[in-house]
Structure 1
Amino acid sequence: MDIATVSSKSGFNPSTLRYYEKLGLIHSTGRKGLRRQYAPNVLNKLSIISLGRLAGLSLSEISTMFNENDELAIDRVLLTQKTLEIDAQIKRLKVVRDSLKHVATCPQASHLECPSFQKMLKSVKSYLS
């Protein structure tokens, strides 16, 4: 597959594909004229890279998920740590969401007089300390 086909099928810009190749995340099989050529399995690897980025992994962390033979070698400890970080982020975001919902619909004349709002402020302070 040439770089244009890989770009079209994967959704990655050709410049991103060249950057990933420079980093060693993907490898071309050669050139046909001026166009880089890739093996069909590059699409699976790009999907794994996308999943890693979506999960918040750096490109360096993603590169450790492949062994020297370019086979998938998942770092379960790293992924477990990342899930804990995501869980903590979800918890924080739920507090923010609930706070915003309450502020938007609170019937009190002053939010500072609202007991629920005061409780939320204390909750937010605990995340910041």
Structure 2
Amino acid sequence: MKLLDIGELARQSGVPPSTLRYYEDIGLIRSEGRHGLRRQYDAPVATQLALISLGKLAGFSLAEMRGMFGADGTPQLPRTELHLRADRLDAQIRDLTRLRDALRHVADCPAETHMDCPKFMRLMQFATRTAGSRRQR
């Protein structure tokens, strides 16, 4: 079994050594030992790091991702949670698309002032409601 030095794994994965040490400290990855003071990792850790990066992009916390790997580091992805996360992303995409379209309209609105533009007024009401719902979470 070929082990990767922490520096080599950092170069291959793009994850800084400090982050690799942190991930190991919180139980996301595991080193196989040390060569001198340098940690050594098994090659499949690179796959784990790719999954962690993907999970972060999808909005999973590190604590949530810790439960997505078996004791041996093999991925055990929760399909139901992945579907729920995808549904939330779809809703976020719809909301962002509406916001983008509204901003484009306001930028091109023929009204004399933005305060005379009905779409701008609805956009402000939406922003107020959204901010209020975020504070309640």
CA-to-aligned-CA distance 1:47-99 (integer Å, 9 cap, x gap):
00000001000011111111233221111121111112111211221122112
CA distance in 2, matches of 1:105, 1:120: 14
Q: Deviations over 1:2-53 (max 9, x none)?
A: 0000111111111100000011111111111111001111111100000000
Show structure 2 runs of 5+ residues with no match: none
SS of equivalent to 1:88: helix
The 5-angstrom pairing of residues 4-83 of structure 1 reads: 4-83=7-86
1:112 Cα deviation after fit: 2.9
Which of 103, 111, 116 does residue 100 from structure 1 map onto? 103
| Alpha-carbon distance in 2 for matches of 1:108, 1:7 | 54
Shift of 1:115: 3.9
* TM-score, structure 2 as length reference: 0.83
Q: After TM superposition, where is structure 1 displaced by more than 3 Å over at least 4 residues in a row?
A: 115-129
Amino-acid identity (%): 45
1:106 positional shift: 1.2
Is the 1:25–1:63 contact (alpha carbons within 8 Å) kept by the matching residues of 2? yes
Aligned partners of 1:95 and 1:124 also within 8 Å: no
Q: Please say if residues 20 and 26 of structure 1, whose CA atoms lie closer than 8 Å, have aligned partners that are also in contact.
A: yes
Q: Distance in 1 between matches of 2:39 and 2:81?
A: 33
Could you report, residue by residue, the CA deviation over 1:108-127 in whole angstroms, capped at 9, with x for unpaired residues? 11223334434545655665
Distance 1:29 1:54 in 2: 27
Any conservation in 1 of the 2:106–2:120 contact (CA below 8 Å)? Answer: yes
TM (normalized to structure 1)?
0.88
Q: Distance in 2 between matches of 1:112 and 1:88?
A: 28
RMSD: 1.9
